Chains A and B, each alone.
Chain A
Amino acid sequence: MLQEFNYLAPKSKNELYAQLKKYSGKARILAGGTDILVELHNQWVAPEYLIDIKKIGDFQGISFDEDEGLSIGATTVCIDLIKDRNAKKHFPLLVDAAHRIGSPQLRNRATIGGNLCTASPCADMGCSLLALNASVEIGSEEGTRVIPLKEFFTGPKKTQIKKHEILQRIIVPAEMAGAKFGMQKLKRIKGHDIALVSVAMARTAKVMRVGIGSCGPTPVVTEDLPPRASLRAVVKAVKKVVSPIDDVRASKDYRLFMTRQFVEAIYPELFKRS
């Protein structure tokens, strides 16, 4: 790298909390590195400290609990989510979403927590986790708090996390286990690309939701919809929450058009019998 920084690798949550407090504002988190190292390479950031959280056991692993649901440690890499037995069984939408991230090399390093904390409007895990009504657990010396993911993103590349806090795990509620699902992602090539539009839909017997990426300053999600909501109603609900723009990747018109296309393509999948 062209910058100087100090590398820290705390071995426990508490050690991390102390470092975050001490170096508040001067530190950046190193998880998979697939975002932060690009930022360092381009000299977009110059932190004094880089704190590697991969050695913290509490942030690792995936587990499933009938009451809570799926608990994904923040430093879980995409490939491990893709292979996880519980994820495959109960939340295949997440497996689908994780599979769409980057290339094989990137999926072997990029973490679910990192994908959310980078908070790009096109975060692939963002729209899928929103469709599943996920929550995130944020910790610090002061304790932990759990907030719905839909409140987590506050703007492009901005989240609720304060400088002394850390995203610890992602919780996907048990009531969404087994949801029918579908996801589509618009890219410029068939190889790896950032989403120009992504739509993830999930439906259980009780609720239907649509998460959308790259159509607003953050990934967004519809309100909770009735499980038998008509396609028309779903489209209306999506229209309410998206606000795409023109940029070098796609135009606003096309994003709107393709969002609708994706919703229409996925909708029938949500009603298929297993």
Chain B
Amino acid sequence: MSSSNTDPKIDAFRAQILHAAKNKTPLSIEGGGTKSWYGNTNTYSKLDTRAYSGILEYQPEELVITACAGTPLKEIEAALKDKNQVLAFEPPHFGEHATFGGAIAAGLAGPGRISAGNFRDFVLGTRILDGKGQDLSFGGKVMKNVAGYDVSRLMPGSMGTLGLLLEASLKVLPKPAGTATLRCQISQEKALHILNEWAGQPLPLSASCWIGNPNEEGQLTIRLAGAIAAIKAAIPLMSASVNASEVDPQSAEIFWNNLREHQLSCFGNLAADQTLYRLALPAACGPLTIPGASNEIVLEWHGQQRWIKAPGDEATFTLIKQLISSHGGHATRFKQGANVNSAFERFTLLSEQVHSKALEAVQARLRSAFDPAGVFATKRLP
């Protein structure tokens, strides 16, 4: 139900929204600005969420945390760590000042996504201000709730184009009792094959990453997480089939964190005319050859998320989109080199996908239901 308590900070947000609605000038919502490079660019005036900050409720035995959008993400993770709990989908921070709201709006997930689920799987409820300045609450703080449409789960990945997120309740999970990391040298094709085979077996496989040149052997790193006994039993079994060895826990933790934060060397050195492309693909997709791509590629999520560096021009993106769509996935211009035209569309459009053309009109109506005046119509997400 709409919250009756008034907060001067929320009143200030509302005033900014109503002003924007009146002047028909969209607002670009921003937290810590750590992901400002992600999504389509705009020059609209900013709505800064950071004033509305703080953890509102956290009861570890409920597995739920409720916090304000402007809360630093690190503050939330520190509170969870204190109680031995985690955000199992490991959202990347991409900078020290990442906020809770920004992480939700970006909707990105880290290595744990393949086993734990994506960001929206963990969203239980939200409080938002819509484009009319209305204070709305959807969902709740309980695990199971089917009252009303699940509007809350539209927020992850909506890039601030649906409404201003004020608060959210997320499901959290206990930190796994044990973890172990294994590493081996293996070809991309064999890696994709064995990862999918393992994923269909009762093994504590929690994350995977293959880094290498498409046609050579590369480095496969896998993470096991769960009951200590289950990990102990799985290590010899999985090591034997790929001739892997265990990575020491400290180096392993650094590796998985660097992967999550794109701090591994393979994510660096983006040439001025290059783009870092994110490819989201079905499990069935084998190795792909991308024209003009740099040699080193990164495969995560058992091959369902792939990172490649390739020329940032429109022709290359068009080719990549066609190739990825033909495999049932979609491509994103994730990060741009210094000389790539920043006005280029970053995402695959609904109209470019089979059977989603009709969704374009639905999505437009959905947005205007929450935001008739176009206060959040920054096009940051098309």
Q: Are A and B part of the same complex?
A: no
Which residues of B are at the interface with A, using a C-beta cutoff of 8 A?
A: none
